[in-house]
Amino acid sequence: MLQAFYTGLSGLNSYSKNLDNVSNNIANMNTAGYRGMDSFYQALGGDSDKPGLGAQISGLGYRFSVGDIRQTGNDFDLAITGTGFFALLDGEKVFYTRTGQFEFDQNNVLVDKNTGFKVAGIDSNGQLSEINLLSYQAIKPTATTKLSLTGNLSPLDDVHQISSAKMINSLGEEVDLSIKFTNEKATFPNQWKVEILDDKGIVLHSDSVKFGPDGTPEVGSGSFIFNLADSSGNTTPIDITVGTIGDFSAVTQTSATGVDSNVTLHAVDGKGVGQLVKRSFDPQGRVTLNYSNGDKVTPFTIAMVDFDDISTLSIESGTVFKASDLESRVLGKAGEGRFKQLATSSIEMSNVDLSQEFADMLVIQRGYQASSRILNVANQMIEQLYENTRGR
């Protein structure tokens, strides 16, 4: 009879712990990346000849279904839309989470907002590594190597000048030059002198272009090389294309424009030093860096991790898990293999189902009442036994 007390108490204790778990699920229903937990019961003692000794909580199970995806507008938020986890590095330790709330710290390292752990990327060897943008705050310049022109030189015109032709030297310095065309019809019919001048009007290079009967440059006459100098004394050769024979999309010589010429720059390559102006992620988890000179690079990719045996994961704290066995760990990238693409500027909310939690609370309440009833009945029976044996 006394065993009934212990059996009832074990039930009260188990249901109380389960209620704590359900309460925690409900409290975290709006926590990003939270995984709902279920309590599992286990019978105490007992065999084929003896009754059991009650029940206890044997452990917790985690729900790894996908929660609702909520847009945040934050460039550093990412949501996993399928299976998998983000990897977090804390020294030599590796943890796992589905909470994609990230930021770059003062050292330009990508970290998890909630824990401060470093967010792992996956390198070319398929290994986990930190994502550090310290060496990506600026991008090297690209010197100008080609320049092309378009338009028409009127044979009735004497001089035509392009007042601004901006080029980039080997140091990334922007040099604003001008290009002057002088009609040499008095001495060389259908030929124009081409001069490259600096901002003071000093001629840096001089060449000529001769046009054929069709109005396009003759063979060997439509292009030349100009060496652009920088402040350190180095030069970069620039291929300047005026036109080619039979190409009416480049520079021509006709009277179609009357007395006035209208030659302009068609294309100039080269870019100056680019400063990092924006950092973001794409659906493949690539870290996208945009620079002030228009360049864009993706030097890092956020690692995705999954486990063939999900039971190896246990909670470390909050929404962070640790793995007891790495044999079943699979590393990869979003959008490849088993991993789906990520939702950018979004977070995954908890996967707690409120209706399920309320249903569990009702079951817990009934179980708690039944266990309490066992204690009450056992107490009444002992009192009755005591009354029946009093005075004997």
The predicted-structure confidence for 143-176, as pLDDT tens digits, reads as follows: 999 999 999 999 999 999 999 999 999 898 899 9
Q: Where are the alpha helices (DSSP H) in the chain?
A: 2-27, 354-389
pLDDT for the residue numbered 154:
95
Structure tokens at 373: 């009833």
Last residue in a domain, options 268, 293, 321? 268
pLDDT for the residue numbered 1:
58
Residues 187, 250 within the same domain: yes
Rounded distance, CA 316 to CA 87, Å?
A: 13
Last residue in a domain, options 223, 251, 268? 268
What is the tally of structural domains in the chain? 3
Q: Which residue range(s) make up the domain with 51?
A: 2-65+351-389
Residues 305, 248 within the same domain: no
- pLDDT band, very low/low/confident/very high, at 8 (cuts 50, 70, 90): confident
Average the pLDDT over each of 173-177, 216-220, 386-390 and give the range with the smallest value.
386-390
- pLDDT of 391 strictly over 60: no
Residues 344, 356 within the same domain: no
3-state helix, strand, coil in the chain (%, to 5): 15, 40, 40
Q: Please, which residues bridge with residue 55 across strands?
A: 43
Mean pLDDT for all residues in the chain: 91
Q: Which amino acid is at 44?
A: L
- pLDDT of 342 strictly over 60: yes
Dihedral (CA of 4, 8, 11, 13) sign: negative
Residues 155, 259 within the same domain: yes
Residues 261, 227 within the same domain: yes
Is the pTM above the cut of 0.85? no
Residues 281, 317 within the same domain: yes
Residues 323, 367 within the same domain: no
Last residue in a domain, options 247, 268, 289? 268
Residues 341, 362 within the same domain: no
- pLDDT band, very low/low/confident/very high, at 3 (cuts 50, 70, 90): confident
Structure tokens at 243: 């036109």
Structure tokens at 293: 């000179």
Residues 373, 260 within the same domain: no
Rounded distance, CA 149 to CA 222, Å?
A: 10
The half-sphere exposure of 355 on its side-chain side, counting CA atoms within 13 A, is: 0
Residues 43, 13 within the same domain: yes
pLDDT digits (tens, 9 = 90+) for 94-128: 999 999 999 999 999 999 999 999 999 999 898 99
Residues 193, 217 within the same domain: yes
Residues 45, 121 within the same domain: no
